[in-house]
Amino acid sequence: MIQTSHFFLRGLGIALGLWWGFNVAVCHAVSFTVTIDTTTLAAYGTPPAPFALEFQLIDGDGTVNNTVTLSNFDFGTSGGVSGSPTTTGGASGDLSGTVTLTDSSFFNEFIQGFTPSATDPLSFLLDTTENVEPLTPDAFSLAIFDSSGTGIPTSFFDVFLQINITNPLIIATYASDTTQSPPGCPTCAPVDISAPVVQPVVVPVPEPGTLLLLISGAASALLSQRRRRG
């Protein structure tokens, strides 16, 4: 009887451990869908076109490392990737697949051209680790370059999205500055782009009944094994 109770409690512990581990993963999910309406860019000629996406990951203290992964790029109808990427530091990949930024150096940058759709916004999946620096946090940012190789002005310099890797994450979005012309064409009308929309990727959490089924199933299996041994 004591041995049976031991198996039952161990099974219960395993089930609770699995449940707790799953919930920890859910609570600390760091995946986001980023959507930015770049359709207004399709109306511009050269210059200020062509345009490029620029991603940065700045290392804070250099004490711990973080990785930001960008994938599932959707450029919409008639939109797409153009040219080859330019990378600095711990940046690699391609907009046609996956882009990875690791803070292996202080400044890590990825730049690649893209053709904006006239009808559909740009969207992609962003995943980031959450290793917090003791003093200065690592910071990820998104900018859009024009033909001059300079970022389109926003209400915060040329940053449309910035994520400071703190606990919790600090996510800030900015719209374009409609009082300034694009750097690549001072005589052009200012670019009007709304602030990006950043939405957490929600992982479904099992109902409480699922936990009970998991526990009872584990307990039943262990008890059956005990009976067969007896």
Is 50 exceeded by the pLDDT of residue 6? no
Q: What is the 3-state secondary structure (H, E, C) of the chain?
A: CHHHHHHHHHHHHHHHHHHHHHHHHHHCCCEEEEEECCHHHHHCCCCCCCEEEEEEEECCCCCCCCEEEEEEEECCCCCEEEEEEEEECCEEECCCCCEEEECCCCEEEEEEEEECCCCCCEEEEEEECCCCCCCCCCEEEEEEECCCCCECCECCCCCCEEEECCCCCEEEECCECCCCCCCCCCCCCCCCCCCCEEEECCCCCCCHHHHHHHHHHHHHHHHHHHHHHC
Angstrom distance (rounded) from CA 165 to CA 126 = 13
Residue-wise pLDDT for 128-167, tens only, equals: 999 999 999 999 999 999 999 999 999 999 999 999 999 9
Structure confidence at residue 227 (pLDDT):
58
**pTM, 2 dp:** 0.78
Residue-wise pLDDT for 107-133, tens only, equals: 999 999 999 999 999 999 999 999 999
